[in-house]
Amino acid sequence: MSHGHLLLIYAVLAIVALIVLIARYRLNPFISVTLVSVGLALLAGMPAPEILPAYEQGVGKTLGHIALIVALGTMLGKMMAESGGAERIARTLIARFGTGNVHWAMMLIAFCIGLPIFFEVGFVLLIPIVLNVARRTGVPLLLVGLPMVAGLSVVHGLVPPHPAAMLAVHAYGADVGRTVFYALLVGLPTAALAGPVFARVVAPRVALPAHNPMEAALLDEGHSRIPDEQLPGFGITIATVLLPVALMLLGGWADQIATPGSPLNHGLRFIGHSVVALLLATLLSFVTLGLMRGFNREQILKFSQECLAPTAAITLLVGAGGGLNGILVHTGVASQIIDLSRQFQLSPLLMGWTMAALMRIATGSATVAMTTASGIVAPIAAALGYPHPELLVLATGAGSVVLSHVNDGGFWLVKEYFNMSVAQTFKTWTVLETLISVTALALVAALAAVL
């Protein structure tokens, strides 16, 4: 057996060992991921002095973005909760859509909000609303929450102007307008099936613990008894929540608004960065949902500090997942998966999906999977004269979200905020992501047959 095949076997064994350690032996997930990462590196023959630097580099690369996003998003969510803003949005959604349709409302809101932003940003913006809607209506948390993550995940992988999708558009030389049109044709029914429809099936079969630490941290039970007129206005609350979305859209359109390289262009890109946009929105919330609601500076400081404690475990887990990614890359597992996929003779459409799917499984990152796969498949598709580059974008995006598991930061975010076990997260989130991937691929193939 070749060394490359052994690497793939070692990677599979590492994932199985990780699941067993956490699910069967109840070992702390952060410790489990770290142990498995080091064990995989040793099995793969990495020199001992290189193992921990590779692991630390993976942790640092992941946390450099995610830790800031989680911290700022949690502060913004806390201000929404303490001010009654989350309660206001929940009441408005319930009034407009009805208790029986709030899961559809969450999917549509996530689909819109997720367009210009990464999954993690949209998740931390919307999770307080999800928790509050579930509490106010008595609807199971997963029936509200899974449609939200489905909407975010679909736009993350398929719809420009999302950054990963835009990179694939450029790689394949696709038309942005046609890509958006096809992405909406594919994305909306995909999000509906993987979100509200799937959630309706799986939510009754997953029993969550009665106490959710993140719900206790982000929600204030007293707001459910406050009269409507004493809550913040719907408009100012939504404006505060959507500020980072608007700023990131401006950043994405910087080259169309101002000459590239000009001070205005640089300024738009700066305020459009996800961390800066969330920072500005959090500062705005201190005013609109804090000072304007009668809270003093000491109270606002207290809110922003106390909400961070429950995020420590989440941040560590996401970082550990990044460390495992680093080991997978440094040991050569990721490159072996690429080489393996090249041995199969596939159409460009299936090649884009397969390459992205394999990279997603190996690295855990949808963005890395999509950008890497499009870079590899684009010259092959061009050489074959494939006539629909827009569909290649969608097929590659569909592959990039398949089978999220323990090396994906999104897996741990969903697990911790929804207070699920690892097995429950596989049963819900992993199946949901795979359903998105397979459904989108089938719809893209149908579009290709029609075109």
pLDDT in tens, 157-188: 887 756 567 667 777 888 766 777 888 889 99
Mean pLDDT of 128-145: 84
Mean pLDDT of 320-329: 74
pLDDT digits (tens, 9 = 90+) for 49-80: 888 888 888 788 767 766 777 788 778 877 87
The one-character DSSP state at 232 is P
In this prediction, residue 441 has a pLDDT band, given cuts at 50, 70 and 90, of very high
In this prediction, residue 326 has a pLDDT band, given cuts at 50, 70 and 90, of confident
Which two tokens mark 17?
């060992």
Greatest mean pLDDT among 29-33, 90-94, 214-218, 426-430:
426-430
What is the share, in percent, of the chain residues with pLDDT greater than 70? 82
User: Which has more pLDDT, 339 or 192?
Assistant: 192
Dihedral pair phi/psi, residue 350, rounded to 5°: -70, -30
CA torsion, ordered 107, 109, 114, 116, to nearest 10 deg: 150
Q: Is 450 helix (H, G, I), strand (E, B) or coil?
A: helix
Q: Minimum mean pLDDT among 27-41, 192-206, 416-430: which range?
A: 27-41
Mean pLDDT of 187-200: 92
Mean pLDDT of 425-431: 92
Considering only CA atoms, give the Rg of the chain: 22
Closest among 303, 291, 437 to 361, alpha carbons compared: 437
Mean pLDDT of 109-130: 73
Confidence (pLDDT) at 414: 87
Confidence (pLDDT) at 1: 44
- Tell me how far CA of residue 405 lies from CA of 12, 64, 83, 129, 431, in angstroms: 12, 21, 36, 25, 10
Cis peptide before 161 (omega within 30 of 0): yes
User: Which has more pLDDT, 208 or 430?
Assistant: 430
Q: Does the structure show a pLDDT above 80 at 149?
A: yes
pLDDT digits (tens, 9 = 90+) for 371-394: 667 766 777 777 777 778 888 999
Mean pLDDT of 343-353: 76
Torsion 11-16-18-21 (CA) sign: negative
In this prediction, residue 147 has a pLDDT band, given cuts at 50, 70 and 90, of very high
Residue with tokens 């920072």: 279
In this prediction, residue 363 has a pLDDT band, given cuts at 50, 70 and 90, of low
User: Which has more pLDDT, 2 or 119?
Assistant: 119
Question: Under a CB-based contact definition with an 8 Å cutoff, are residues 370 and 397 in contact?
Answer: yes
Amino acid (1-letter code) at residue 173: G
Q: What does the buried/exposed string (b/e) look like for 314-344 if buried means 16 or more CB atoms within 10 Å of the residue's CB?
A: bbbbbbbbbbbbbbbbbbbbbebbeeebeee
Closest among 103, 123, 104 to 113, alpha carbons compared: 123
Q: Does the structure show a pLDDT above 60 at 222?
A: no
Mean pLDDT of 22-34: 74
Q: Does the structure show a pLDDT above 90 at 443?
A: yes
Greatest mean pLDDT among 44-53, 191-200, 358-367:
191-200
pLDDT, the chain, mean: 80
Task: Please name the residue ranges forming H helices in 173-296.
Answer: 176-192, 198-202, 213-218, 234-252, 254-257, 263-271, 274-288
Q: Does the structure show a pLDDT above 90 at 436?
A: yes
Query: Per-domain residue ranges for the chain?
Result: 59-199+212-311
Confidence (pLDDT) at 150: 93
Angstrom distance (rounded) from CA 140 to CA 362:
33
The helix-helix angle for 176-192 and 431-450 (nearest 10°) equals 130
Closest among 118, 92, 97, 117 to 107, alpha carbons compared: 97
